[in-house]
């Protein structure tokens, strides 16, 4: 095959591949993502305990005896063709989306992460999917008691007209070893408020990413930030960094990876703090069923 034809085919494949991340995210300024063992903010570490990863059923191997599932899956480098010298390249990457606990058996995520009942049935929600030691980047097991199934979709929205995007789901049993998060019930977050996101960028174990702010609040259903997020962060809780109150759900943003033609691998896209399109966050107050449940408790 002629070299120009090879180049053309590679280019087309890259364009198609990039389109898969159209609702995904990017690095603004410095890369602020931290593993739990790197984080020092006590409030942020506490909040992270109530965040969860959406992971496909086939990833969990159950021997029927152990208290742990064996986790089957590759690294970020192998799964995304990430350049070997990039951060977190050698970590396990099996999560599809992120979510967070808002009631004993209620969890919030992005609407595009749970589109129908089969998304409930085909995935589990795992807490404590995180790296606690720099020398152990591979997660090979998860405690069964920290893994939950989705029973039903309580409320969901995914609108192209107003950009609403959320899902409230019911878990198969109450979560008793960690507290539901506190969420905003009325009003709106202000411009330049410092925010932090906790979730699973590109399917990685839990990452805390602070050092960001609100860039735009004019939209009715969402606000815009410069959080460092990626595909897999969809459904992540976005908090007021100082109070720990959930302000919204990370749902979409700038394309997250660019292709390095010299190294023949992908690298995170870099933007200035005020550059690129920003990262969109659905307002938590949009979830009427959740607001009603909280008002009655």
Instruction: Select, from the ranges 22-26, 227-231, 246-250, the one with the highest average predicted confidence (pLDDT).
Output: 246-250
In CATH, what number is assigned to the domain containing residue 280? 2.40.10.10
For 189, the domain range is 23-33+183-295
Q: What is the pTM of this model?
A: 0.90
Residues 56 and 153 both lie in one domain: yes
Q: Is residue 43 part of a domain?
A: no
Total domain count for the chain? 2
Helix extents (H) in 22-124: 42-48, 76-80, 117-121
Which residue's entry shows tokens 């899956």? 73
Residue 172 to residues 60, 65, 281, Cα–Cα distance (Å): 17, 21, 27
Mean pLDDT computed over every residue of the chain:
91
Q: What is the mean pLDDT of residues 77-106?
A: 97
Q: Is residue 255 part of a domain?
A: yes
Residues 188 and 282 both lie in one domain: yes
Residues β-bridged to residue 70: 61, 141
Residues 61 and 124 both lie in one domain: yes
Residues 163 and 190 both lie in one domain: no
Q: Is residue 1 part of a domain?
A: no
C-beta separation of 236 from 197 below 8 A:
yes
Which residue's entry shows tokens 């898969």? 20
pLDDT of residue 25: 56
In CATH, what number is assigned to the domain containing residue 132? 2.40.10
Neighbouring residues of 217: CB distance < 8 A, sequence distance ≥ 6: 188, 189, 190, 191, 223, 224
Residue 195 to residues 113, 138, 173, 260, Cα–Cα distance (Å): 22, 29, 31, 31
C-alpha to C-alpha distance for 56 and 119, rounded to whole angstroms:
9
Last residue of a domain, one of 129, 149, 171: 171
Instruction: Select, from the ranges 7-11, 74-78, 159-163, the one with the highest average predicted confidence (pLDDT).
Output: 74-78
Q: Is residue 17 part of a domain?
A: no
Read off the DSSP letter of residue 183.
B
Residues 61 and 148 both lie in one domain: yes
pLDDT at 74 over 60: yes
pLDDT at 116 over 80: yes
Last residue of a domain, one of 150, 171, 192: 171
pLDDT of residue 12: 37
Residue 38 in tokens: 């790197």
Q: Is residue 4 part of a domain?
A: no
Residue 79 in tokens: 């799964």
Q: Reduce the DSSP state of residue 6 to 3 states and report it.
A: helix
């Amino acid at each position: 095959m002629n070299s120009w034809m090879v180049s053309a085919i590679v280019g087309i494949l890259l364009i198609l591949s990039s389109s898969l991340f159209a609702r995904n995210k990017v690095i603004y300024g410095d890369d602020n993502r931290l593993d739990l063992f790197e984080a020092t903010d006590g409030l942020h570490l506490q909040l992270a305990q109530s965040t969860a990863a959406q992971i496909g059923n086939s990833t969990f191997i159950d021997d029927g005896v152990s208290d742990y599932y064996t986790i089957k899956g590759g690294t970020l480098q192998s799964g995304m063709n990430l350049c070997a010298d990039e951060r977190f390249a050698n970590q396990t990457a099996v999560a599809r989306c992120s979510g967070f606990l808002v009631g004993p058996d209620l969890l919030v995520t992005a609407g595009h992460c749970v589109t129908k009942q089969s998304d409930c049935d085909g995935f589990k929600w795992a807490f404590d999917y995180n790296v606690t030691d720099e020398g152990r980047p591979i997660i090979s097991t998860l405690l069964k008691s920290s893994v939950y199934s989705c029973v039903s979709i309580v409320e969901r929205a995914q609108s192209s007209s107003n950009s609403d995007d959320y899902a409230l789901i019911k878990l198969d049993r109450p979560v008793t070893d960690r507290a539901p998060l506190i969420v905003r019930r009325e009003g709106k977050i202000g411009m330049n408020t410092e925010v932090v996101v906790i979730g699973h960028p590109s399917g990685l174990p839990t990452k805390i990413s602070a050092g960001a702010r609100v860039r735009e609040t004019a939209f009715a259903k969402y606000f815009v930030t410069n959080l460092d997020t990626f595909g897999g962060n969809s459904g992540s809780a976005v908090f007021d960094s100082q109070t720990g109150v959930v302000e919204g759900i990370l749902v979409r943003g700038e394309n997250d990876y660019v292709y390095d033609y010299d190294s023949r691998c992908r690298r995170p896209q870099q933007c200035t703090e005020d550059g690129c399109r920003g990262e969109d966050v659905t307002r938590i107050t949009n979830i009427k069923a959740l607001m009603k449940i909280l008002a009655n408790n």
